Amino acid sequence: MDNRNWWQGAIIYQIYPRSFQDTNGDGIGDLPGIAQHLEYVASLGVEAVWISPFFRSPMKDFGYDIADHRAVDPIFGSLEDFDVLLTKAHALGLKVIIDQVLSHTSNEHAWFRESRESRDNARANWFVWANPRTDGGPPNNWLSIFGGVAWAWEPRRCQYYLHNFLVDQPDLNFHEPAVQRAVLDNVRFWLERGVDGLRLDAINFCCHDPLLRDNPPKPPEERTGHGFRPDNPYAYQYHLYDNTRPENLEFLARLRALLDEFPGAVSLGEISSEDSTATMAEYTRPGRLHMAYTFELLGADGSPAHIRDTVERKMAASPEGWPCWAISNHDVQRVITRWGKPDSPQHLATQLTAVITSLRGAACLYQGEELGLAEAQVPFELLQDPYGIAFWPNFQGRDGCRTPMPWDDSPQGGFTTGKPWLPLPAPHLGQSVRVQEGNPGSPLHALRGLLRWRKRHPALVRGAIGFIDAPADVLAFRRWCEGQRLVAVFNFRNCGVTVRLAELEGVVALEGHGLPAGELFGTRLTLPAHGAFFGII
């Protein structure tokens, strides 16, 4: 692969800056802390890092509410610190992808402060403003993802403004050409600084229906899917008019044209819509985004049937597209807790990584996945996440996956010399990097071995994929490219399993992937609990 398509089949390591490494004792991770551990990240065998927002922000949504798109927030460091990080990453052979939050800003952003002052200032039309109904209520029935009405009253203008997320996150008006130009100028700033790609937060939320039509109601039996809980009123509507509008495609084309000025720069879009598979296919057509990911594998269903169905639907909708698979990130419960069981073996973490890194496409690994970390339990009085605070106790928010990275087994995990912004759970300290470095059988060593082994098999990196019918709790598929044909079989059970697959005729087992591999006799394969088989044809 040349530099222009390095991202096809790449493994991307997500870093949540607040929780990675604190270097100044304030209990919050920072950019120098990321730079300090880049050798560790490179040692995992990944191709790139994705760094969640570090821009100037009041931190109402912990950086996803941006007040200045071109400035580093002082809690994370400075632009000079970012330049040092970028230079070091490149020297280690790592690409750097940064989060870009384009659909909205913080209500403390200079653009919004000006826009809210009057209806006739230079930026009066830069945000989504609407008059009240005759009874004084909001202009329509749109709802916020974080619960409640998606409109907030602004007395200076005697109008409502739209916020698809927190009230502190007003939505930009992408129907205003000046807004698109300003947003793209901010993106250019970072591309010219040398970043290798953009992870685009909520990218299908940029455009809204200019007629402000009501969303139709959704029946109770359909109030699930794409990451929204049935106890959240957001799930009560079909979101046809407040996001994923056709006008958004025109903006994506302009964004892609900008990226194409920087050879090798990649775009990765986060998609959450009524039909995420169709939206992902539409958004990754030629001339738009390079890759996208959705929430299908970030939910509770980790069955082989669901994984197969998700991949096959994506491939059918976009045969030439390159998805990016993720089973954990900063917004969802850690996968070991979601998909595992109390008696699951330690190597479950490695198996799940093996599964997603063996599918066609790129894959994101969230910090701590390489250690097999489970979801932390954060008591209500220590919660920081506004989403969790609003929906407690049915939903405990996103803090449980955002607790600091455990570098050693000291009380603060080597993360800080101060008080960490979220507590480090005791079980995580026993799974720290230092502890696992000293244990050749640890998930950390297993992941390193797996990713090194994967690089030696081009079919797993960039080959085509075709699934094989197998019993429940077993996932089986073929991968092939020029000169290589492989078969992969995974046992999702907590006990051993024996299967007969005609596709195993003449297959020779491959070793070195590091997972419990079982034995192959003709077309009969015996796999231990959460074992894996890779064979070459």
Residues 6 or more apart whose CB falls under 8 angstroms from that of 392 comprise: 380, 383
Residue 223: its pLDDT value, please? 86
Is 414 within 8 Å of 408 (Cβ atoms)?
yes
pLDDT at 483: 84
E runs forming strands in 202-357: 266-270, 291-293, 324-326
- Over the chain (537 residues), the average pLDDT of each successive run of 10 is 77 98 98 98 98 98 97 98 98 98 98 98 98 98 95 98 98 98 98 98 98 96 69 92 97 98 97 94 97 93 97 94 95 95 92 97 97 96 91 90 98 97 97 98 97 96 96 97 94 96 96 94 96 96
The DSSP secondary structure of 150-214, one letter per residue, reads SEEEETTTTEEEE-SS-TTSPBB-TTSHHHHHHHHHHHHHHHHHT--EEEEETGGGS---TT-PP
Cβ of 430: how many Cβ atoms within 10 Å? 11
Q: List the CATH code of the domain at 464-536.
A: 2.60.40.1180
Helix (H, G, I), strand (E, B) or coil at 326: strand
The predicted pLDDT at position 1 comes to 45
Annotation marks residue 201 as catalytic: yes
Residue 399 identity: D
* Strand 532-536 versus strand 508-509 pairing type: antiparallel
CA distances from 473 to 214, 307, 489 (A): 42, 11, 11
What is the β-pairing status of strands 48-51 and 11-15?
parallel
**Beta bridge pairs of residue 447:** none
* Torsion sign across C-alpha atoms 469, 474, 480, 486: negative
CB under 8 Å to 512, separation ≥6 — which residues?
A: 449, 453
Q: Which helix (H) or strand (E) holds 349?
A: helix 348-358
- Residue of 22, 201, 385, 399 marked catalytic: 201
Catalytic residue among 39, 80, 247, 261: 261
Residues of each domain in the chain carrying CATH 2.60.40.1180: 464-536
* Architecture of the domain spanning 3-105+177-452: Alpha-Beta Barrel (3.20)
pLDDT at site 252: 98
Enumerate the CATH 3.20.20.80 domain ranges in the chain, comma separated: 3-105+177-452
Q: Is 261 a catalytic residue?
A: yes
Rounded CA gap, 164 and 254, in Å? 23
Which phi and psi angles does 2 have, rounded to 5°? -85, 180
The pLDDT, as a whole number, for residue 342 is 87
Task: Find the distance separating the first CA and the last CA of the chain, reported in whole Å.
Answer: 23
pLDDT at 416: 98
Count of C-beta atoms within a 10 Å radius of residue 37: 17
